[in-house]
């Protein structure tokens, strides 16, 4: 599992995001509740599923992870991640991938 560096964007600071290669054991980022993931799948033949791990079960006892399917040769954005639902005990969001091949991610904070 590898750390993804959170990049900041605001009205006064534009951003050209840099992307990190997805790690085979998953990744994580420090979460302030104003972060979204920018996911790129460069594989031309297969979609990739990205799972954002929910840390807290709902009132009915179910774990509602977020799963995003990124089609082949495509990009997706997902977020924001509430701190009470997605942060682990270290204040980080954990992400796993169906396959990390040809997949890159960027964590971007707004504000």
Per-residue pLDDT, 102? 97
Per-residue pLDDT, 13? 79
What are 14-30's pLDDT values in tens digits? 899 999 999 999 999 99
More confident residue, 103 or 60: 103
Six-digit token string for 97: 């991938």
* pLDDT tops 90 at residue 10: no
Six-digit token string for 38: 């920018």
More confident residue, 62 or 78: 78
Question: What are residue 84's phi and psi, to 5 degrees?
Answer: -70, -25
The three-state (H, E, C) secondary structure of the chain, written as one string: CEECCEEEECCCCCCCCCCEECCCCCEEEECCCCEEEEEEECCCCCCEEEEECCCCCCCCCCCCCEEEEECCCEEEEEECCCHHHHCCCCCEEEEEECCCCCEEEEEEEEC
């Amino acid at each position: 599992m590898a750390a993804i560096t959170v990049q900041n964007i605001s009205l006064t600071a534009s951003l050209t995001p840099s992307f990190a290669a997805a790690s085979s054991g998953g990744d994580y980022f420090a979460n302030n509740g104003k972060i979204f993931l920018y996911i790129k799948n460069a594989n031309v033949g297969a979609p990739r599923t990205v799972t954002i791990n929910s840390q807290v079960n709902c009132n009915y006892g179910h774990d509602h992870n977020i799963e995003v399917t990124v089609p082949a040769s495509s990009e997706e954005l997902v977020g924001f991640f509430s701190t009470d639902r997605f942060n682990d005990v270290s204040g980080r969001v954990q992400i796993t991938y169906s396959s990390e091949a040809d997949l890159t991610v960027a964590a971007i904070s707004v504000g």
